[in-house]
Chain A
C-alpha cells in the first residue's frame, strides 16, 4: 500500500515542547468540568458540616492569627481591624496555597489514572485551579459579608474600599498562575526525584512568612527587610488585594507588573517542562 493515507494522529518519540495543546484541552472540556465537580462534591462527602468548612477555614485561621500575631506577638496591622486584615490575607493566601500544593502532586498522585488512560494531563492541574477558584469565590463572598457588616456595625474598623478593587481579577489571575506554575513545576520534577515533595509541605508555610499576609508591607519596610519581601511575586499581590478592599497598605504598580511578568514567564517555563515530562513520566514515576 504505497499511497499515503490520511492519519488522524501520529505517535512519535518527541513533540514540540512549546505546543500548548489548547485545542486538545478544549476537546476534553467536559472532563475538566467533571473533575472540578468531583473535587468539589467529593471533598465534603460524609461530613456533617459539608461546604460550611469552606467558611470555617478562613474565619478560624484569622481568629487564631488575631490571638497569636496580633495578641501575643503584637505585630501591628496599620490602622485596620486585625481580624479583617488577617481575613483578607488568608483568603488570598489559601487560594494561592491550594493551587500550589494540590497541583504539585499532579503526576505522582494521579499515576494510577495516567498509567491507564490518555487525556491531556494539563486537565488535572487546571481542574484543581478551577475548583480552588470556586472555593475562593465562596470565601470572597464571606469576606464581603464580614466587611459590610463591620462597615456598618464597627465604624472603628476603618474600611475604605477604593478603585483598586477593580484589579481583583488580575490579582486572582496572578495568584492562580503562580500557584499553577509552581505546582506543575514541582509536580514535573518530583516524577523522578521526590525531594521536592518534602519541600512543598513546609515551603508554602515558610513562603507565607516572606509574604505580607500576617504583617503589612510597611512593617517590613521599617525593619529593613523590604527587599526580601519585594522579590517575592506574591507580596505585591496580597498587598494590593488588601489595599483595594480595605484601603490599608500601599499600591505599587511596578511591583505588580513585576509579579505579573514573573507569573507569565514562570508559568510558560513550567508548561514546557510539564509537557516534556508528561510524555514519559510513567517510566520514572
Chain B
C-alpha cells in the first residue's frame, strides 16, 4: 500500500455570518465566559447549520463539517463542488492560512500552497527582485531560487523585462512571471486553486503540462481545485466532490465529474415531454407536434459526436408530408447554424416519426449551444420550440470528436461554426 501524503480527520470549520465587528463583542464575551471561565465548549457551535447559501437560518454555519479523506502520495486529487461547498475553506486550512474549528490534518512532506499567483509581488520591485521575494514567500530558500532562476525566467518568457519594475508589466506578463515562480516550487505536496484560469491558451497548456509533469514524473502529490471540468479531467487521478461543507463522494475522476455535472448543471439528455413546453404560437401543436427529444449518447457526459433523436406525432389527417428544420443558437440568441431537411417525408394521421441528427464535421469550438427545432408541411409551420435543449462542448480531440454534456434550457454560451447533419428516417 502506498504512503498517505495527507490525512484529513473529522475536519470542521465554523463561521459566523454577517458583519464581524462591534456586534460580535457580546458573543465574544459570552464565548469567553463559557469557554475560559466555565470550561464548556464554544456555545455557538450548537447553533451552526449546514452551509446552504440560499436558505435563511442561524447566523452560524459550518463551512466544513466532518470532512475525512486520505490522499495517497503521488496522487493528483481534484476537488470540485459548487461555490460555497467548502472547497476554498478546505484549501485555506490545508495552506495554514486559517485554522480548523475541530479535527486535524496530518501532512507527510513539505507542503506549498498556490491559492493565488504573485502573492507578495511588490509593484515597485523589478521582475528579478520579485522572483526572489515571491519564491521566498512561497517557502523557497534563496539558494534554491538562485539555482532555478534562469529556468523560471525562461518559463515565464518575459526575459526582456526582467529588470523592469513589475508595475510596468502588462497583466499577462505579470501573471506569467508569477506562475513561473510558482511552477518551480518543489514541495512534496502542492495545493493549487484555480490559478490556471490565467494567461493565454498557450500558457495555460504549459501550466497544465507542468502540473502533470510534477505529479507523474516527480511523484509529487497535488491537490487541485477548479470549476473547469476539462482541466480536472486532464489532470486528476481522483476527485473529491464537496457539497455544503461535506464530502459527498470520493472516487475516480470520470465518475465524480459525471456526478458533479449531473448534480449541478440540470443535466438532461432527454426531453420526454415536449408537449408541455410552452410554444410561441397558438396554432402550433394542433395538426402535428414534437413529442420528445433525446441525446443518442446514453450518458450525460459524453465523449463522442453529439447525436440527437426526436419524435413527432401527426394529428391532422391532411398532413401527408413533413419537413423539419433544426438550428443551433448561441447565447445571444443568434442563429449560428440552421439545417433544413433535404426532402419531405411522407406521413399519415396518427403516425409517430423519429428523426436522428448527427453533428459530424466541422468541429464545434468549446462553448455552450442551444437547440431549436421545428416541423412544417409545405409552407405551414406545424410546431416549433426555441432553445429548449442545450449542450456544452468542453473539448474536442484531433478526430473531431466532441467531449461535452447536455443540459436543460437556461443560461448561456456562444459559438461560431457550421454543422453537417445527416438524417435518418425510421418507421
Residues of chain A at the chain B interface (Cβ within 8 Å): 1, 5-14, 28, 30-31, 33-35, 37-38, 41-42, 45-46, 112-119, 192-194, 279-284
Contact = CB atoms under 8 A, between A and B. Distances in A.
Given A28-B136, A42-B125, A282-B97, 6 more contacts: A10-B107, A30-B141, A34-B142, A45-B125, A116-B115, A119-B139
Given A31-B137, A38-B133, A13 B4 contact: no
Interface of B: 1, 3-4, 7, 15, 20-22, 24-25, 28, 70, 92-111, 113, 115-116, 119-120, 122, 124-125, 129, 132-133, 136-139, 141-142, 165
A234 to B, nearest CB: 31
5 closest pairs, A vs B, by CB?
A118-B96, A31-B136, A11-B105, A30-B142, A279-B99
B94 A11 contact: yes
B412 to A, nearest CB: 30
Nearest to A30: B142
B21 A192 contact: yes
B124 A12 contact: no
B138 A117 contact: yes
21 contacts: A5-B3, A7-B107, A8-B110, A11-B107, A12-B99, A13-B99, A28-B136, A30-B141, A31-B137, A38-B122, A38-B125, A42-B122, A115-B92, A115-B97, A116-B97, A119-B139, A192-B21, A193-B21, A193-B22, A194-B21, A281-B98
B187 to A, nearest CB: 11
Contacts of A31: 136-137
A280 B100 CA distance: 8
Contacts of B110: 8
Contacts of A284: 20
A6 B125 contact: no
Nearest to A44: B124
B21 A116 contact: no
Contact of B109 (A8, A11, A282): A8
Nearest to A4: B106
A12 B104 contact: yes
Contacts of A282: 92, 97-98
A8 B119 contact: no
B24 A192 contact: yes
Contacts of B109: 8
Nearest to A39: B122
A283 B98 contact: yes
Given A1-B1, A119-B139, A13 B101 contact: yes
A14 B22 CA distance: 25
A280 B124 contact: no
A13 B15 contact: no
A240 to B, nearest CB: 38
B108 A117 contact: no
A11 B1 contact: no
B4 to A, nearest CB: 7
Contacts of B105: 10-11
A117 B99 contact: no
Given A5-B108, A9-B107, A117 B133 contact: no
Contact of A119 (B70, B111, B129, B137): B137
A243 to B, nearest CB: 40
B136 A34 contact: yes
A280 B165 contact: no
Nearest to B1: A1
A283 B97 CA distance: 10
Given A31-B137, A118-B97, A282-B92, A41 B107 contact: no
A192 B92 CA distance: 19
Nearest to A7: B106
A35 B103 CA distance: 34
Contacts of A45: 124-125, 165
A192 B16 CA distance: 13
B125 A118 contact: no
A11 B165 CA distance: 37
A97 B20 CA distance: 30
B148 to A, nearest CB: 14
B98 A41 contact: no
A54 to B, nearest CB: 17
Nearest to A6: B108
Contacts of B96: 11, 118
B119 A117 contact: yes
Interface centre among A7, A9, A117 (most CB of B within 10 A): A117
B99 A38 contact: no
B137 A113 contact: yes
Given A6-B108, A13-B101, A41-B129, A46 B137 contact: no
A46 B126 CA distance: 12
Contacts of B97: 114-118, 282
B15 A8 contact: no
B22 to A, nearest CB: 7
A284 B27 CA distance: 13
A8 B101 contact: no
A33 B137 CA distance: 11
A280 B125 contact: no
Nearest to A46: B124
Nearest to B138: A117
A37 B129 CA distance: 10
A240 B287 CA distance: 104
B20 A192 contact: yes
B116 A116 contact: yes
Nearest to B13: A283
Contacts of B141: 30
Contacts of A6: 108
Contacts of B122: 38, 42
Contacts of A30: 136, 141-142
